[in-house]
Structures are given as C-alpha cells and as structure tokens.
Chains A and B, each alone.
Chain A
Amino acid sequence: GAVVSQHPSWVICKSGTSVKIECRSLDFQATTMFWYRQFPKQSLMLMATSNEGSKATYEQGVEKDKFLINHASLTLSTLTVTSAHPEDSSFYICSASGLGGYEQYFGPGTRLTVT
C-alpha cells in the first residue's frame, strides 16, 4: 500500500515551453502533497506544500508564477513549470501524506531537461 506515482518519469522540452508533471496517490487519499526539487548529487529542497482544494504554500525563493501547483483532488496534484529554461532542468519529486502518522510517501521522480 501507499504507492505514489509520477508521470512522466522523464521529459525533454524546449526553452520557453511549459511542462506539466502529475503526481498521483494510487491507493490512499492524500490530504497533503509536497513537491521537491533535487539537483545532481544534492539533497531534496522543498518547493511547495499543497492541500486538496487549497492554494499551495510555496517555500521562500520559489517563484509561484513559474511553478504552478494544483491539488484538485485527493489523489492528484500537478506541477506545471511555465516558460521553462535550462536552469529549470532538475529532478522533481513529489510526496503525499494522508494516512496519519506524519509519514510522507514519495513518488519515483521526474527528470526534466530543458534544451
């Protein structure tokens, strides 16, 4: 149980375009979802926290107009990178919680490459 999926697992897009990443909790209702960014050989940096039906809470320094997060249902959250640039290339990981006990369940990640 407690499986979180992400789609796509890998995406290449051209500079200036937008790309959407989906995060789904497959077997539980995720009241809260988190989006992280991870640079090569570095730790996870929390970008934002989203609760179902509410606006996301962004961490300091994260551009909310560039990284649009939607948490429309208890099983789906999306991250849209708008007007992507090469510096947005990174590994994006989502996690979900909602089973109680404070635990987050992580998706497998999405590698974004902007050319």
Chain B
Amino acid sequence: AQSVTQPDIHITVSEGASLELRCNYSYGATPYLFWYVQSPGQGLQLLLKYFSGDTLVQGIKGFEAEFKRSQSSFNLRKPSVHWSDAAEYFCAVGAEFGNEKLTFGTGTRLTIIP
C-alpha cells in the first residue's frame, strides 16, 4: 500500500521569502502525486499534479513541484510567498490507474509573518 510522509507539521516563513514543503512517498510503481491546499474550514484545492513526463511541474498560484524518483520525493516550492498563502498543504499519492484512491499526508501548516 502507498503512503505519504510530510515531515514538517508547521512551517513559518516571512512574506516574500522562498518556500519549500517536503513530501516523501512510498509506492512500488510510478506514483501519481498531488499537492492540495486547504484554507481554514474549506475543502481542498488542487495546486498541481504529476503523472508522468517532465519531473518539474508547474501549478497554480506560482507553485511548482519536482518529482525525484531516487529520493521518493515530491517537494513543493514557491519563490516568494504571499500572506494569502497561509493555509494547510497536503501531499497525496494515488495508486494504480483506475483505482483513483488517494492517500494523504498529515499536512503542513504554513504561517506567513510580515
């Protein structure tokens, strides 16, 4: 079974600084990988996804993520954060095509300080 680890429970970043949120996955085959963002009391919004091809994927709101098979990682990055980026971020991994079940990491809460 697949699993996802987000090592950082809480990260604080100054506005305008760069950001990297870590995600490590465990899955025997090529995974389908996702990053979602959740604002307080809200559902999840997809930031970006990786299925195959170029290992550097671009998403919405200026986010990008890089798939590194050798490190089993799919870290999320943003060069300059905005106060509105404060939220909970979840990494998720999908199993074989057709199953469509997602396994979520425990999330990383991002706080932005002025």
Contacts and interface: CB of A to CB of B under 8 A. Distances in A.
Contacts of A32: 100
B104 interface: yes
Interface residues of B, number: 22
Report, nearest first, the 6 A-B pairs whose CB atoms are least far apart.
A106-B43, A106-B44, A108-B43, A43-B104, A43-B106, A44-B104
A111 B101 contact: no
Contacts of A6: 43
Among B44, B90, B97, B101, residue most surrounded by chain A Cβ atoms (within 10 Å):
B44
A107 B105 contact: no
Interface in A64-115: 91, 93, 95, 97, 101-109, 111
Contacts of B32: 102
Interface stretch (B21-29, B45-53, B57-65): B45-53
Size class of the A contact interface (CB-based, 8 Å) = 20 to 34
A43 B44 contact: no
B10 to A, nearest CB: 10
Contacts, number: 49
Contacts of B70: none
A46 interface: yes
Interface in B94-114: 94, 97, 100-107, 109
Interface of A: 4, 6, 32, 34, 41-44, 46, 49, 91, 93, 95, 97, 101-109, 111
Contacts of B49: 102-103
Contacts of B41: 91, 109, 111
A44 B100 contact: no
A43 B101 contact: no
B41 to A, nearest CB: 7
Interface string B11-24: 00000000000000
Contact of B42 (A43, A46, A105, A109): A109
